[in-house]
Each structure stands twice: as C-alpha cells, then as structure tokens.
Amino acid sequence: MTSNKAVAVYGAYGHTGRFVVSELLRRGWTPMLSGRDAAKLSAFGAEHPGLEVRPASVDEPASLDRALAGAVAVINCAGPFASTSAPLIEAAIRARIPYLDVAAEIEANIDTFNLFAGRARDAGIVVVHAMAFFGGLGDLLATAAMGDWTTADEISIAYGLDSWKPTTGTLVAGQVSRQRRDGRRVVFANGEIAYVTGAAPTTEWTFSAPLGKQTVIAEFTMADTVTISRHLKTPEIRSYMTATAVKDLTAPDHSAPVASDDSGRSSQTFVVEVLARRGGEERRASAGGRDIYAFTAPLVVEAMARVVGGQVKTAGVFTAGEAFDARDFLASLSPEHLRVEMR
C-alpha cells in the first residue's frame, strides 16, 4: 500500500461528494477538495480546516493538472458526467494516476469505454467507471450471481427503492442523458444495446424484506445495462425499478434527500436483486441498505483503495465486476453498509 494518502475529489461539495470526503477521512485518506464552483468549494473547505482546496474547471486543463498534482488517485463525483468524465480522465492520464467516477449516465458510460479503453491501457492507468449505486452495485451482484457460469440465458436486475428524493445533480444528469438519446429508453436485447420508444411496461416483483411485493417499471433505463453487458455474456438484460421510486423521480415538485442522522444519510431504504437464468437453473444475489447516495461513498472508496493497493493488475477501463472479485468486494461492505445474500 502506498504511503501517499492524498486523493483528489472532484465535485467534493456536492451531495455525493460530501459522503465520499467523509468516507475517505474515516478510512485514513486525505481528500484534496476540488470542483468548478470556487465559492461552494471554499465554503465546504471551511468545514474541513486543514484540507487543501483546489478549484478547477473542466474547460481549463491546467487547472485540472494543478488539482490532481500529488494525488494518488482521483474520484470524480461531479455530473453531468457527459461534461466532466473526459476532461478528468485526460488529466488522470497526464498525471498517470487512477481515475474512478460515480457516473450513471448511459451515454457517458458508453463514451468512456469507447474513447478511453485503449488510451488508459497505453498510459498504464486504471479507470473504474460507474463505481456507484447505479452501475457498480448491480454489476457486482450480477457477477457474483453468475459465479462460475460463463454464459446466462438472461440476467434480471430489480431495484427496490421505498422512495427516491433525487439530488439536483441527478436531475441535471438525467436531463442531459435523455436529451442525448432523444427521450428514448435503453434496453439490452438480442445481445446488443437498443433504443426503444413507447411507454415502459409494468409488472410485479417480490423483493425480500422490508419491501415485499411491489409494482415495478420494466425496461427502466439503467447504467447496469452498459456495465453488465461489458463483460458478462448474456443475450438479455432485464431491468426493473419500483413504481413508487419512479413516481418520486418524475414528480414536478421534486424534494431533495433529507438527513435523518448525524452522518447525513436519509431514511431511504433499498433492496437490489439480481436473477441469472441458464436453462432450468437460477442463481440469485441480493443486497439491501440505506440511502443510495450515501452508499455510493463506501463503494467507490473501497474500489479506490483496491486499485491503489495494486489489486487491479491490468491497465484500462473497467466496470466494478471486471475489476474486482465481486463476492469478496461485496463481503468487504458487509455488514456495516450492506446486507448481502446469495442463493
């Protein structure tokens, strides 16, 4: 493990960024605070005296170079990632340090893999993309569920959220993503990503406690469609989201997450379940926890620590399931952050 504990956090003052900074401090790392809004960054820095504050704009490569100078890795928490991912990855390549982000924008996800896989490999750096609740957790669960299977007839992933109070960042990123795909939904069918129109179908899914049977929206556009299909061989990936959460997300009068304890976590609970089918066999993996934004912090910080610790031996762009031993990674988050069950 490196003696350098400095980690640049871009978008440090944002909702998820704050959780990431707190998790880094809890685990003995030294966050270097960065972001586009100098005033917000300065105010956040005042809450953490002793931490370096490094304003930087994605439109000014030199400022990004200064923000990353001396860091052992960079974690990008600033959406929309369609605007921030590429400049930050470019800066990480120049600095020769690992890059991780919490992107859940499908178009940005696809762009990162297509544009930077070869360049990151040539530069000798590790890029772990979509290392978040959406994109990362589902990929880890699907990889763990598959186990020694090399192929599956289909993989289903169901998100059970008892509510979804979206952050401003989620709403802006979602708007950018929808605009890029002209409002179409994204599905993975017949072995490829496809764009479809029309209303998404509804069905029911019986989640484990505490959610139980829920009405779900099928073919819900998810980053997992990209991350899972990157490395798990299956012709069909089916995604589901609780209708209650979708109603919250699309409500005209959005309300932001409200802290329910001293850590800043909301009372939101989640259950994520993955079902892999092959022939007449089924394998399942499920995980439950609290606050999807807060949970992203231990997920991406654990990933960063593993990358910096040399557990990813090959350079390039990876999903969570590609980069790490999925079962071991999930176990490392239990029971403090996640309840995991394999069947």
Residue 177 CA from chain centroid, whole number = 15
Kindly report the CATH number assigned to the domain that includes residue 256: 3.30.360.10
- Kindly tell me if the per-residue pLDDT of 92 is higher than 90: yes
Instruction: Flag whether 236 is in a domain.
Output: yes
Contact in structure between 239 and 222 (CB atoms under 8 Å): yes
Instruction: Flag whether 158 is in a domain.
Output: yes
Shared domain check, 44 and 110: yes
61 CB burial (10 A radius; 0-12, 13-18, 19+):
middle
Residues 156-205 have pLDDT tens digits of 999 999 999 999 999 999 899 989 999 899 999 999 999 999 999 999 99
Shared domain check, 227 and 138: yes
Instruction: Flag whether 148 is in a domain.
Output: yes
- Kindly tell me if the per-residue pLDDT of 118 is higher than 90: yes
Shared domain check, 158 and 73: no
Q: At what angle do helices 81-95 and 61-68 cross, to 10 degrees?
A: 60
Share of the chain above pLDDT 70, in %: 100
Shared domain check, 162 and 277: yes
121 CB burial (10 A radius; 0-12, 13-18, 19+):
middle
For residue 343, what pLDDT band results from cuts at 50, 70 and 90? confident
Shared domain check, 288 and 264: yes
Q: What pLDDT does residue 227 have?
A: 97
The whole-number average pLDDT for the span 119-132 is: 98
Helix (H, G, I), strand (E, B) or coil at 89: helix
Contact in structure between 73 and 99 (CB atoms under 8 Å): yes
Shared domain check, 178 and 287: yes
128 CB burial (10 A radius; 0-12, 13-18, 19+):
buried
Contact in structure between 195 and 189 (CB atoms under 8 Å): no
Share of the chain above pLDDT 90, in %: 92
- Kindly tell me if the per-residue pLDDT of 98 is higher than 70: yes
Q: What pLDDT does residue 311 have?
A: 97
Q: At what angle do helices 168-180 and 81-95 cross, to 10 degrees?
A: 100
For residue 1, what pLDDT band results from cuts at 50, 70 and 90? low
Nearest in space to 173 (alpha carbons), one of 76, 224, 104, 245: 104
Residues 214-246 have pLDDT tens digits of 999 999 999 999 999 999 999 999 999 999 999
Shared domain check, 238 and 143: yes
Q: What pLDDT does residue 149 have?
A: 98
Instruction: Flag whether 35 is in a domain.
Output: yes
Task: Put the strands of the sheet holding 6-10 in their side by side order.
Answer: 53-55, 30-35, 6-10, 73-76, 99-101, 126-128, 316-318
Q: What pLDDT does residue 299 have?
A: 98
Q: How many CA atoms lie within 13 A of 90 on its CB side?
A: 13
What's the rounded Cα separation, in Å, for the pair 124 and 13? 30
Shared domain check, 163 and 66: no
Kindly report the CATH number assigned to the domain that includes residue 300: 3.40.50.720
Q: Hey, how many other C-beta atoms are within 10 angstroms of the C-beta on 162?
A: 18
Q: What pLDDT does residue 55 have?
A: 98
What's the rounded Cα separation, in Å, for the pair 221 and 157? 12
Q: What pLDDT does residue 264 have?
A: 95
Q: Find tokens 């990162």 and name the residue.
A: 112
The whole-number average pLDDT for the span 288-308 is: 98
Contact in structure between 120 and 93 (CB atoms under 8 Å): yes
Beta strands, E only, 17-129: 30-35, 53-55, 73-76, 99-101, 126-128
For residue 209, what pLDDT band results from cuts at 50, 70 and 90? confident
Which residues form the domain of 176? Answer: 133-292+336-342
Contact in structure between 51 and 30 (CB atoms under 8 Å): yes
Instruction: Kindly state the tokens that stand for 234.
Output: 């299956």
Task: List CB contacts of 124: < 8 A, sequence separation 6 or more.
Answer: 96, 315
What sign for the dihedral angle of Cα 167, 173, 177, 178? Answer: positive
Q: What pLDDT does residue 255 have?
A: 85
What's the rounded Cα separation, in Å, for the pair 104 and 177? 9
Shared domain check, 152 and 87: no
- Kindly tell me if the per-residue pLDDT of 248 is higher than 80: yes
Shared domain check, 126 and 10: yes
Q: How many structural domains does the chain have? A: 2
Q: Find tokens 């469609």 and name the residue.
A: 225
Nearest in space to 305 (alpha carbons), one of 19, 10, 91, 28: 28
Q: What pLDDT does residue 93 have?
A: 98
- The mean predicted confidence, pLDDT, of the chain is 96
Nearest in space to 131 (alpha carbons), one of 315, 287, 322: 322
Shared domain check, 250 and 140: yes
Shared domain check, 197 and 110: no
Q: What pLDDT does residue 196 have?
A: 94
Residues 2-11 have pLDDT tens digits of 789 999 999 9
Instruction: Flag whether 249 is in a domain.
Output: yes
The whole-number average pLDDT for the span 305-311 is: 98
Contact in structure between 121 and 302 (CB atoms under 8 Å): no
